[in-house]
Structure 1
Amino acid sequence: MAVEPVAPAHPGEYGDRVVAVEPGGIEPVAAAGRHGKPHQLFWTWSSPNLEFATIFVGVLAVSAFGLGFWQALIAMLIGNGLGALSHAVLSARGPKYGVPQMVLSRLGFGFWGNLLPAALMSVTAGIGWFAVNSVSGAFALNTLTGLPAPACLAIVVALQIGIAFFGHNLVQAYERYIFAVLAVVFLVGTVVIFAKADAGAPSGGGGVGGFLLTVGAAFGYSAGWNPYAADYTRYLPSSVSGRAVGWFAGLGLFVSCSVLMAAGAASATIGGGGGGSPTAAFTGHMPGWLASVTLLAITLGAVAANALNVYSGALAFLCLGIRLPLAWRRAIVALGFGAIGFVLAWLGLSDAGSAYENFLLVISYWISPWLAVVFVDQFLHRGADAGRLPPEKSRRGWAGVVSFAFGAVASIALFANQSLYTAPVPKAVPAIGDITFFVGFVVAGGLYALLGREVRQRRP
């Protein structure tokens, strides 16, 4: 299999131009092409979470996992806090290296070992999340306009692919300008929902198990953005404060996820609402004018989320080492992911609930052990200048791959708890809920701390 050579992008070819197709693929961003400030990351990571997929996590916490509102809120804050913290740490490394997150993943996994997490990232972001958010956006547009759901899906997908095709600068611009609109609409909608909610309603008997399931689902949602982190900080000048980068990225993710998940949990305590689709049920609690505006915001928010999903999914795909001798190779891959995601979203229009619950938990199953390897490797080599290591093709990264695979397989086999598969531990102790993501992180991290010593001694 041929591998793509890694070379700096040509300075001045792209720069800060918005209406221009981003050239190349995963090459390091040259100093002449760096631009932007850390504060822009707040809306970069707020806008894509101001959409219905975020709200639905809160709905699941009450309606599916059996929690009361306050129980759900605490569980979601824990899950979001963990995801935002890891996101902040990963984002801070982008300006130093100037490469996407899945290229940085090679530090712990090696060039060839990184093929596994890069492939998982490609499928999760470019296809899985794309389909999930496209469905919610199509439902909202269908409820708002009355157009057939497939036609609404086609409109939403066309907008998403168009933004991702142009690349980094247009994606950042869209997140910036749509932020104010989405923030105002969802803030007003959240106030109305809370005014009608019964926060003191008794729980549905979810107990500790439901609480841990909610933590896992919230973590799976917020940490689902972790493999994208450096994709949107690599264009920042290397001189910016890493701490500021981390703060703005993590805060944008935490605030947006927590507020909208809380709104979803509150809406599930009201009862009634509209029928026909999850989005109609949520907006059915609102006055007519606000429901219409919120449906439009849900559609635009789905576009904000999927612009990132398609863009980062394409970058992860290029990290597989497949050579595409095209100046616009990233853009072409984005079109391919959009086409596949459209088909899957079309097939998923009939089932918007249980599949989403399973999807959230499965994401956390692989991201947790991946994060463990990345963070332990960063700790083992703290202070070292590893700027030349990501493109090295001679490093197979056996320690990272073994730790990742063992942590993921062992945790899933013993602790997974969902409708697709229930492992022995939750079968024997149902109250344990689903702690797969936590076990996977501990096992993979501990194993890599042992196996990585040899790598640490041989690394310059």
Structure 2
Amino acid sequence: MAKNTREIEQVSYEFIPEKDRKGDPKELFFTWFAASTVSTTVVTGALTIILGLNFWWAALAIILGHFIGATFMALHSAQGPKLGLPQLIQSRAQFGYFGVIIPMVIVLTMYFGYGSMNTILVGQGIKETLGFNVNIIIVLSLIPMVILAIYGQHLIQKSMRIYTFFYVALFIVLTGLLFIYIDIDMLHEGSFHIGGFIASVSICITWQVTYNPYVSDHSRFMHPKDVKKTFFYTYLGSFLSSTWLMLLGAAIATTALNGNIMGAIKEMGMIGYVIVILLSLGVLVINSLNIYGAGIIVLSIASMFWDFKTSGRLRVIVYSVIGITLAISSTFGATNFMVYFQIYLEFVLFFIIPWSVINLVDFYLLKRNNFMSEQYLTKHSKFGKINRKGVFVYFIVIMLQIPFVNTELYQGIISLKMNGLDIAWMVGVLCAALFYIGVMWLTKRYLSYEDIKIK
């Protein structure tokens, strides 16, 4: 692995030995604080007002949603120091050596989707403020994103630290502007209704859940003795930035015309205009996380069929191809892509939530977490090529969520009878936990710690 920011990282899917884990858990605060300091977070917070809540009920929903969601995220992050492996490689314990390809492919499409969406937002934001050509900005903006992903964890974390200090100052200014431009009486407009409140809580929980598949990709560089610190700093960073920015978005939405949050910020004078530009440019650093994670999954899948070790040259090739793919999808399919991807994102959560709960239940409740690293990296391990129990529960829970969903593309029959309420994620969490524990208990085929525990 890279020892400093001038060296290209030499790992991807591989196990990080304890002697090489020299990461500081405090750096995770900056990584996950910075991860949400983008315009998308502000706009997402505005949805709570669009759903009909007043600001105060929206604020409660935002705080509650991130409080719950960040807990799941931080629990995944705490797995990294214990196992020293990327997040989805860890899931071989529940899905098997090849079975884990299922969530890997789903998450890979999420990486490419978010990567393209964020890149498009950069191009559109700069066009609206400075008038530059969208496609040129998209291509140019991908260069620093790809470079950060190639160099890896050390350079990403250093960039995130600088980024955090700068954008904290930016959002302090934006918060101050709200006291000048927001009419306090407007914060009381709207009302409480259970559907809008639950939907708002769900939005915030799912915002955090989308980080779950890759938090350990970064925390695996931490020493096992730093598990508690890893949880704390991951939780604090993600909770504070997401909650703060969504509260700002909700407040701005009380006066924004037609929900145009960025337009409302631009109306706050020259400072507001500059803030919109900086919010657009901020994605340049943040999007490197999506590209970094996509590369790990591509190389992880490849390692199942070919024997190789990650090198700097291989990282340059893989991440360059990912960058070119994002450039093509962002420039040639931007309009239709954004429409259909938003719909897809609503469904991808139904795949991520069961995976997340199965993984956490197995690790924390069933305590199947003390396996040797070699078990995760060989197809002949005791996890098996396909863990039928984990895969069975996974697909059953996905099917059980369908009647409860309410999306633009499809609304489930139970959601219709509940006046449009979408509680699919609640069903997913409850059923995944109960079914997985039940199946493991009924089969009574636990792996033997005596054979595979770490000495």
Q: Out of 36-45 and 153-162, give the one that drifted further.
A: 153-162
Task: Please give the residue correspondences for 1:232-247 in structure 2 after superposition, counting only pairs within 5 Å.
Answer: 232-239=218-225, 241-247=226-232
Quick one: which amino acid aligns to residue 68 of structure 1?
Answer: N
Quick one: which amino acid aligns to residue 43 of structure 2?
Answer: F
User: In 1, are the aligned partners of 2:49 and 2:250 still within 8 Å (CA)?
Assistant: yes
- In the superposition, relative to structure 1, how do residues 306 and 384 fare at CA in structure 2: closer, same or farther (>3 Å)? closer
Quick one: which amino acid aligns to residue 390 of structure 2?
Answer: G
Aligned residue for 2:211, secondary structure, equals: helix
One of 303, 308, 314 as aligned partner of 2:289: 308
Structure 1 residue 403 corresponds to structure 2 residue 403: no
Corresponding residue pairs, total: 438
Quick one: which amino acid aligns to residue 423 of structure 1?
Answer: G
* CA distances 1:388-443 after superposition (whole Å, capped 9, x unpaired): 332242412211111111111220x2011011111111122225x21111111111
User: In 2, are the aligned partners of 1:38 and 1:244 still within 8 Å (CA)?
Assistant: yes
The corresponding residue for 1:343 is 328
User: In 1, are the aligned partners of 2:12 and 2:300 still within 8 Å (CA)?
Assistant: no
User: In 1, are the aligned partners of 2:181 and 2:268 still within 8 Å (CA)?
Assistant: no
User: In 2, are the aligned partners of 1:33 and 1:235 still within 8 Å (CA)?
Assistant: yes
Structure 1 residue 143 corresponds to structure 2 residue 128: yes
The corresponding residue for 1:213 is 199
Task: Please give the residue correspondences for 1:9-20 in structure 2 after superposition, counting only pairs within 5 Å.
Answer: 14-20=1-7
User: In 2, are the aligned partners of 1:220 and 1:361 still within 8 Å (CA)?
Assistant: no
1 CA distance for matches of 2:299 and 2:179?
Answer: 44
1 CA distance for matches of 2:24 and 2:361?
Answer: 28
The corresponding residue for 1:438 is 426
User: In 2, are the aligned partners of 1:372 and 1:441 still within 8 Å (CA)?
Assistant: yes
Deviation at 1:184, TM superposition (A): 0.7
Task: Please give the residue correspondences for 1:24-423 in structure 2 after superposition, counting only pairs within 5 Å.
Answer: 24-63=11-50, 65-125=51-111, 127-198=112-183, 200-201=185-186, 207-239=193-225, 241-272=226-257, 280-292=262-274, 294-320=275-301, 321-323=304-306, 325=308, 327=311, 328-347=313-332, 349-350=334-335, 358-382=343-367, 385-388=370-373, 389-394=375-380, 395=384, 396-411=386-401, 413-423=402-412
Q: What stretches of structure 1 move > 6 A for 4+ residues in a row?
A: 351-354
1 CA distance for matches of 2:183 and 2:399?
Answer: 41
* CA distances 1:154-177 after superposition (whole Å, capped 9, x unpaired): 222222122112222111111111
The corresponding residue for 1:8 is none
Deviation at 1:299, TM superposition (A): 2.9
Deviation at 1:283, TM superposition (A): 2.4
- In the superposition, relative to structure 1, how do residues 197 and 222 fare at CA in structure 2: closer, same or farther (>3 Å)? farther
Deviation at 1:54, TM superposition (A): 0.8
2 CA distance for matches of 1:330 and 1:448?
Answer: 37
Q: Quick one: percent identity of the two aligned structures?
A: 24
2 CA distance for matches of 1:114 and 1:149?
Answer: 37
- In the superposition, relative to structure 1, how do residues 455 and 29 fare at CA in structure 2: closer, same or farther (>3 Å)? farther
In structure 1, the gaps of 5 or more residues are 1-13
Deviation at 1:455, TM superposition (A): 6.2
One of 413, 431, 437 as aligned partner of 1:449: 437
Q: Out of 151-160 and 302-311, give the one that drifted further.
A: 151-160
User: In 2, are the aligned partners of 1:54 and 1:261 still within 8 Å (CA)?
Assistant: yes
The corresponding residue for 1:426 is 415
TM-score by length of 2: 0.89
